[in-house]
Copies of this chain bind each other. A is one copy, B any other.
Amino acid sequence: MMHKKLIQSCAVLFILASASADAAWEALPDVAPAPEDNPTTEAKVTLGKMLFMDPRFSSTGTISCNSCHNIMEGGDDSRTFSMGVHGKTGGRNAPTVWNSAFHSVQFWDGRADLLEDQAKGPVTNPVEMGVSEIEQAMDKVRAIPGYKPYFDEAFGKDSMTVDNAAKAVAAFERTLITPNSAYDKYVKGDKDAMSVQQVRGMETFASTGCIACHSGAAFNGPKMEFGQGFYAKFPTFSDKEYDEKYDLSADKGREEATGKASDAHMYRVSTLRNITDTAPYFHNGSVNNLSDAVRVMAKLQLNKDLSDSAVEDIVAFLSALTGEYPEIIMPRLPATSGYSLVADK
C-alpha cells in the first residue's frame, strides 16, 4: 500500500518512474471492476442505459447524463464548460464517461469516491439538471410506469430508490470501455499496430516523465483501492505566458471540495484514453489543441520545454490510445401514456 503523501505527490512519483527503465505498459481490461455491493448485471446495465439517456427527470426535461457526456461522441460535449438547464454553464470541463470506471475517483476534484456517488451529483446541480431535491427527480422516474419492471428485474420489488438508480447508471457506465486501440494491440504483441512515430512518441512520453502520473492501463495512475484517489497538483510549476493565457490557477481544485489548503490545485489525474476525441482540455477547457495541451503539461508539470518534434511524436502516440467504441443500441425510454411529466401544466 502506497503512503498517502506519495500518492498525492505526483512529482515524487515522477522521479521514481522516470528513473525506472522498464515502464509497464498495460492494455485496457475488457471488463471494469465493480464495488462489492454493486456487481455489474445485465439488468442493471439495461436500466442504467435508459436512465443515462433520459432527460425527463431534469428540471426542464431537456438534460440527460448524455447531454454533457455524449456517448455518441467522446463521452463529453466538446464544450469548454457544459451547458445545463436554461443554458446555464458551470466552471469545469465535462470529463469523458468512457472508461470512467477506471478512474480512481470521480469529478475533477475527486469529490465522489465511486461512479454510484458521482451519478447523483449533476441531478441537483443548478447549472446541470437543476432539480432542487434529488427525490423530486426520482419522483419523476417513479411516475413513469414503464420503469418499474426494469427496477424489479435489476434490484427486486419496491426498489425504485435514488441509490438503486445511481447503481444502475454506474453499472451501465462500467460497460463504457474502449478496447483495441492501436496501443492495446501493440502491447499485446502486434508490433505493426503502431506507426514508427507512435512508438517514438511512446518512448518520449515515458522518458519525458508523463508516465509518472499517466501510468496504468487507463493512463491515469496506478490501480487504487475503490474510492482512493490518485491526485496531482496542477499546475506544479508556473509559467508566466501559460498562466496568463490559460488561467489554470484560478480554480483551487480539490480544495474547493474539501476546504483544505493542502488540497489546493490538486486534481484527480485524468485518463488519456481517447484524448483525441475529448478536446478542449484541462479542468477549465482552456486549451483547444492537443499539441498545445502536451506542451503545457510538459512545462507546468515537468518544467520541460518540448521540441516541436517531441510534441508531434507524443501527440501521435496519444492518438494510438483512441480505442474501439462498442456498438450501443438506443434504449426505448418508457412512455407515460397520454400525459407528459414535463409539460408546463
Binding site for B on A (CB under 8 A): 53-56, 60-62, 67, 70-74, 77-81, 83, 85-88, 275-277, 279-280, 285-286, 288-291, 315, 319, 325, 327-333, 335-345
Contacts and interface: CB of A to CB of B under 8 A. Distances in A.
A276 B343 contact: no
Q: In this complex, which of A83, A88, A339 has the most chain B Cβ atoms within 10 angstroms of its Cβ?
A: A339
B330 A78 contact: no
Contacts of A81: 344
Given A285-B344, A328-B329, A332-B325, A339 B290 contact: yes
Contacts of A77: 55, 61-62, 342
Contacts of A325: 332
Nearest to A330: B328
Given A277-B335, A328-B329, A329-B330, A62 B79 contact: yes
A83 B79 CA distance: 19
24 contacts: A61-B79, A72-B330, A72-B332, A74-B335, A78-B336, A79-B343, A80-B343, A81-B344, A275-B338, A277-B335, A279-B336, A280-B340, A280-B343, A280-B344, A280-B345, A288-B340, A288-B345, A289-B338, A289-B339, A290-B337, A315-B338, A319-B337, A327-B330, A328-B329
Interface of A is mostly: loop
Contacts of A56: 73, 78
A331 B72 contact: yes
A340 B276 CA distance: 10
Contacts of A291: 338
A156 to B, nearest CB: 26
